[in-house]
Chains A and B, each alone.
Chain A
Amino acid sequence: MDLTRTPEEEDFRARLRTWLARELPTLPPRPDPLDWPARRAYDMDWQHRLHRAGYAGLHWPRDAGGQGATPTQHLIFLEETEAAGAPYVGAGFVGLLHAGPTIAAEGTPEQRARWLPPILRGDQVWCQGFSEPDAGSDLASLRTRAVRDGDHYVVTGSKIWTSHAEVADWCELLVRTDPDAPRHRGLTWLALPMDAPGVTVRPLRTLAGSTEFAEVFLDEVRVPVTHRVGDENDGWRVTMVTLSFERGTAFVGEVVACRRTLRLLAQHARKTGRWDDAVLRRRLGRLNAEFTALWRLIQWNVSEAAHGLRNGGTGVPAENGSLFKLRYSHARQELYEVAAAALGPDALDLTQEWTRERLSSLSYTIAAGTSQIQHTILAERVLGLPKGR
């Protein structure tokens, strides 16, 4: 139960702070949120800078080109960069957090050498082609087909909820190679070049009015067999291996940001006089407890992950992530409900940042596994309740 930092951890934090203080003032102005090429350029510029300073792939293993940092150092990195107002991982998200680690864990030496360095340098953007219109929570029912034709797969189908598809170079694609095998056993993981003939991207407009993600249509797209990571029909396992790469740090930056928003909200309420409303005040107080606890839960998960790694494991059990994600996504929605209460009629004004955040927050209990799916995971895998239907 030790929450103090070691001298090494303090030293890491101090060096990072110094670097951030020097680097951040030299950043270009933030791009228009609707200008995707500009966003890509901005995000990749930040990744270039991290790479030059030795912070790229901080939590990746050294043999994959990463820094081999401890989970605690990674936590400090995310905490400090968010606190300093540094850019988010943005367009680098899939490459750095999922596709890259998958290739690092399951790829051949040639595949690692080809795809990992450009991800770390910020030269190439990856997107994710897992979900389909008819395969959401039930991902293993996906139907996009890949048929072997010589040294190529011919891929036909459609993917949905693909972030950064318009500006991505590569897509990590989950396809069905054996339609006769049991659902989880007929899938294969492929790296799809987004400029291949037959790939069509159609942006999807969210309820917030922006185009945060897209539908990707695949019409007889030819993908070389050498782009397959892992064995044919072993794609489900390959994909899940990476999910355990998560070290409990997935939402660190967001929780730091939420705690800052909460303080701003309290100050705003004080200024406008809404602070005198005891109901609003108590909701703010409860949220403070909520995010304080969520921060401690992150530290708990990171400690577990660090222990696991020291003993040859990969990271935190996915169930810990489910528990955190469940509580966090509801807390974040409540945060913007309270923000609306603090704003009063201004909550109807779309130029208010908190109004826009309130809209975005509606996706938290849906994206990356709905709250209902997380409940089921916890009930079956942690509590050991018999499988339902």
Chain B
Amino acid sequence: MDKVIVAKDLSLAYSDDETIINKANFSIDSGSFVFITGASGSGKSTLLKSLYGALKPKEGSLVVGGVELNGVSSSKLNFLRKHLGIVFQDYKLVKEWTVEKNIMLPLIINGYDKSVTQNQVDSLLKHVKLRHQAAKYPPELSGGEQQRVAMARALAHNPILILADEPTGNLDDYSSQVIWNLLEGANEQLKTTVIVVTHHIPETMGVRYKHYHIEFGAIREVL
């Protein structure tokens, strides 16, 4: 099976004197569903940041979607990010754009045709049950609704890899269920690799998944 992520002796740090992840070795198969857990401050979000190139490896090698992120150029990083779908804990929606335009963002960046873009956005709005909110701005929505918009945006361009940082952290049950359904659907139907950083793995997951745990800077698979 193809590997979408390969890490060799990967060390991550924000400063020279404090290493968050220490010489980690792991790989993730294409099309798999992966949970990464760990205590607060263990380095889960740091690892996720390194996967979309927001934090460069301190040491070792990290290959995501065939792109080596250690010493990556900005053009190569942009190329990789165009094929990623990222869901952030704080949503990261553009406040001055409508819900519709926020979902369009990856499609615009990837140069999709206007009619394709509109159809895709309409379909996603239906899936996240926010059709009636299309013309609203993020600050006018609840946290759960904003996270569903962020989820729709992450799925818009059929990415090869979805990276989600605590996607249901503070959400109500309804919004959480919508998010999990979408992530499972993308993984099952589109064979998209999904990596979710979370504190708790939902009890009723509809897909097979792998579980990695981070502790004291080391990453180990939980069998």
A binds B: no
Interface residues of B (CB under 8 A from A): none
Interface residues of A (CB under 8 A from B): none
